[in-house]
Amino acid sequence: MSDYIISESASAASVGLVELRTIDFESLALDSGLTLAPVTIAYETYGRLNEQRDNAILILHALSGDAHAAGYYEGETRLGWWETMIGPGKGFDTNRCFVMCSNVIGGCKGSTGPNSINPETGREYGLDFPVVTVGDMVRAQKMLIDHLGIARLLCVTGGSMGGMQALQWAVAYPENVASCIPIAATPKHSAMQIAFNEVGRQAIMGDANWNGGNYYQGDPPDAGLAVARMIGHITYLSDESMHERFGRRLRNKKALGYDFTLDFEVESYLRHQGELFTRRFDANTYLYITKALDYFDLSDERGVLVETFRDLPADMRFLLIAFSSDWLYPPYQSKEIVRALKGNGLDCSYLEMRSSFGHDAFLLENKDMTRVVWHFMESTARINGVKLG
C-alpha cells in the first residue's frame, strides 16, 4: 500500500493550470450507419503518464459536462466539474495517475457537435448533425486513447451519463479496460428518464427561436433551453435537499407578492440556473445528448442484462456507487448492474451512500467516496502490476 495521504478537502490541492487540447480525426462510424467526418475531440489531461503507459484513468462527463474536469484555465478561476475527485491526493490521484477527460461527440465544448461547421454546407450542422449514441461517444474516445498510445485504461469512470459511458467502455472494449467505476448510472434509460428528457426537448423545440435547429445566425431558443435546464435541475436534487436549501423562504420580500414576479427563493434559484445555462450550452446539443441517453440500453434484444457481461475478462474490476436520495437514477438501477455482473462471477463492489443531495451527490465533495475510490484505484493497480507515479 502507498503511504500517500488522501486530501481531507477538495480545496486542499488542485491540478492547477490546465489547457483544453483538440485532436482531429478523419471520420467516425456511427451506430446509425452514418459516418461523421471530420471529427474533432476536445480533451484535457492531468498528472503524468508513466513509462509503461498503464496508469491512465478516463473520466467521462454527464449531460451538461465537458472536458474541463479539474483545474482552471489561464486567466480564469472556474474549477473543473469534478475538482472534488481529481487532483493530488484525491480519489483520482493525479500524483499517481494520468487522468483524461474529453468532451463527447455531439457536445458543444470543443468536440464535433451540431454547432460545428458541416463541411458539406459550410454552415453549422443544426439538425443535419447525425444522431449519436453513447456507443458512438465511446468509439470516439477509443480513437483518442489510441492516439495517446494508451493500450489499456486503468479505469473508466463517471457519474450519470458518465457512468453509462464507463459501462459502455467495459462492454465495447473489454481488453482495454482494467476497471470501471459507474456512479449514479443505469443499465438503460427508463420510461421516466425518457419522459423527463422528452419534456426538455419539447421545451426547446417548442421555442419559436429554435426554428428547426437553424438558429445559429439569429436568436437562440434561450427560453426553451432554460426551461429544459430547470426541469433537469429539479430532477438532480431531492425533496429533502430542496426543503433544507430553500424551504418556503421568500426572496427579497417580507410577504407574498400576489403577482407573478418572484416570491420564493427556489423560484429565483431555478430561473437563475436556467439563465446561466443558456450562456454556456447549445440547445441542439441538449437535444442530441438527451437522445443518446434515451437510446442507451445495455441489455440484449430480449431485455436481459446478464448476457451483456458474459464475455468480460474475469480480471475486470467494478465499483458501482449510488446515492440513497437519487430518484432520477435510483440505487435499484445500479443494483441491477451489480446483479448482472455478479451473475457472471465478476469482481464487483457496490457502495450505496446515504445522502440527501439526490442525483447531484456524485458531483459534491464526499470524503467516503474519495477514500473508497482512492483505495479501489490502489488495489486495482496492485492487482494489475501497475506502478503508479
Task: Exactly one of 66, 263, 359, 360 is catalytic; name it.
Answer: 359
Neighbours of 247 (CB within 10 A): 11
Tell me the chain's radius of gyration from C-alpha atoms.
21
Per CB under 8 A, the list member of 226, 289, 305, 338 interacting with a second copy is 226
Sorted by sequence, the CB contacts under 8 Å of residue 260 that are 6+ apart come out as none
Closest CA to 373 of 330, 312, 321, 314: 321
Q: What residues form DSSP beta bridges with 58?
A: 100, 156
Closest CA to 2 of 350, 375, 354, 288: 375
Question: With respect to a second copy, which residue has the nearer C-beta, 84 or 238?
Answer: 238
160 given a catalytic annotation: yes
For residue 242, state whether it binds a second copy (rule: CB under 8 A): yes
Q: Which residue has the cell 454546407?
A: 121
Which span (26-34, 88-96, 105-113, 335-343) binds a second copy, by CB under 8 A?
26-34
For residue 130, state whether it binds a second copy (rule: CB under 8 A): yes
For residue 134, state whether it binds a second copy (rule: CB under 8 A): no
Interactions with a second copy, residue window 270-329 (CB under 8 A): 270-271, 274, 287, 291, 294-295, 297, 327
Per CB under 8 A, the list member of 58, 59, 227, 346 interacting with a second copy is 227
Q: How far is the CB of 93 from a second copy (least distance, A)?
A: 36
Per CB under 8 A, the list member of 20, 23, 127, 351 interacting with a second copy is 127
359 given a catalytic annotation: yes
For residue 248, state whether it binds a second copy (rule: CB under 8 A): yes
Q: Where are the alpha helices (DSSP H) in the chain?
A: 134-147, 161-172, 191-205, 222-236, 239-245, 265-280, 283-295, 331-342, 367-383
Task: Exactly one of 7, 14, 160, 179 is catalytic; name it.
Answer: 160
Q: How far is the CB of 331 from a second copy (least distance, A)?
A: 12
The side-by-side arrangement of strands in the sheet containing 21-25 is: 21-25, 39-46, 98-102, 56-60, 155-159, 179-183, 317-323, 347-353
Is the separation of the CB atoms in 86 and 70 below 8 Å? yes
For residue 54, state whether it binds a second copy (rule: CB under 8 A): no
Closest CA to 161 of 65, 274, 83, 232: 65
Task: Exactly one of 66, 326, 334, 360 is catalytic; name it.
Answer: 326
Is the separation of the CB atoms in 274 and 286 below 8 Å? no
Please spell the DSSP secondary structure of 277-319, one letter per residue.
Answer: HHHH--HHHHHHHHHHHHH-B-S-TTS-SGGGGTTS-TT-EEE
Question: With respect to a second copy, which residue has the nearer C-beta, 95 or 273?
Answer: 273
Helix (H, G, I), strand (E, B) or coil at 165: helix
Interactions with a second copy, residue window 63-122 (CB under 8 A): none
For residue 214, state whether it binds a second copy (rule: CB under 8 A): no
Interactions with a second copy, residue window 254-273 (CB under 8 A): 256, 258-260, 263-264, 266-267, 270-271
Count of residues of this chain found to bind a second copy when the rule CB under 8 A is applied: 57
Q: How far is the CB of 153 from a second copy (least distance, A)?
A: 28
CA distance linking residue 274 with residue 44, whole number of Å:
27
Q: How far is the CB of 64 from a second copy (least distance, A)?
A: 16
Q: What residues form DSSP beta bridges with 86?
A: 92
For residue 230, state whether it binds a second copy (rule: CB under 8 A): yes
Q: Which residues bind a second copy (CB under 8 A)?
A: 31-32, 34, 127, 130-131, 188-192, 194-196, 198-199, 201-203, 205-208, 223-224, 226-227, 230-231, 234, 237-239, 242-243, 245-248, 256, 258-260, 263-264, 266-267, 270-271, 274, 287, 291, 294-295, 297, 327, 330
